[in-house]
């Protein structure tokens, strides 16, 4: 789990970096009604993993900011928050 595109608001400087770094950047940016942008970190990670040959990719689709009762979220809770870890293995 990580922050989802529903909550991951980014500034215009980051929008520009995304446009420079990703060929398929339109699939990663969601313009909001107020003119701000949200970033789809899940899809960005999926694209990068697929690009280097990872075939089986599972996206949990759980936003830590929306579910900060279950997960730590810096965006939802501020700088005084906890951490969690993950173990990933390739065979």
Break the chain into its structural domains and give their ranges.
Answer: 9-77
Confidence at residue 69, expressed as pLDDT on a 0 to 100 scale: 84
Report pTM. 0.84
Question: How far is 72 from 81, CA to CA, in rounded Å?
Answer: 6
In this prediction, residue 81 has a pLDDT band, given cuts at 50, 70 and 90, of: confident
Q: Residue 42: its pLDDT value, please?
A: 97
Q: Is the pLDDT of residue 10 over 90?
A: yes
Helices (H), the chain: 12-21, 41-51, 74-77
pLDDT tens sequence across 13-48: 999 999 999 999 999 999 999 999 999 999 999 999
The neighbour count for residue 47, using CB atoms within 10 Å, is 17
Percent of the chain with pLDDT over 70: 100
- Per DSSP bridges, beta strands 37-39 and 29-31 are antiparallel
Q: Check pLDDT > 80 for residue 90.
A: no
């Amino acid at each position: 789990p990580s922050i989802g595109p529903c909550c991951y608001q980014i500034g215009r400087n980051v929008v520009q970096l995304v446009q420079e770094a990703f060929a398929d950047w339109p699939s990663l940016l969601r313009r909001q009604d107020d003119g701000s942008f949200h970033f789809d970190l899940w899809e960005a990670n999926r694209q990068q993993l697929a690009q280097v040959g990872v075939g089986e990719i599972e996206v949990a689709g759980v936003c830590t900011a929306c579910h900060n009762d279950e997960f730590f979220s810096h965006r939802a809770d501020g700088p005084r928050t906890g951490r969690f870890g993950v173990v990933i293995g390739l065979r």
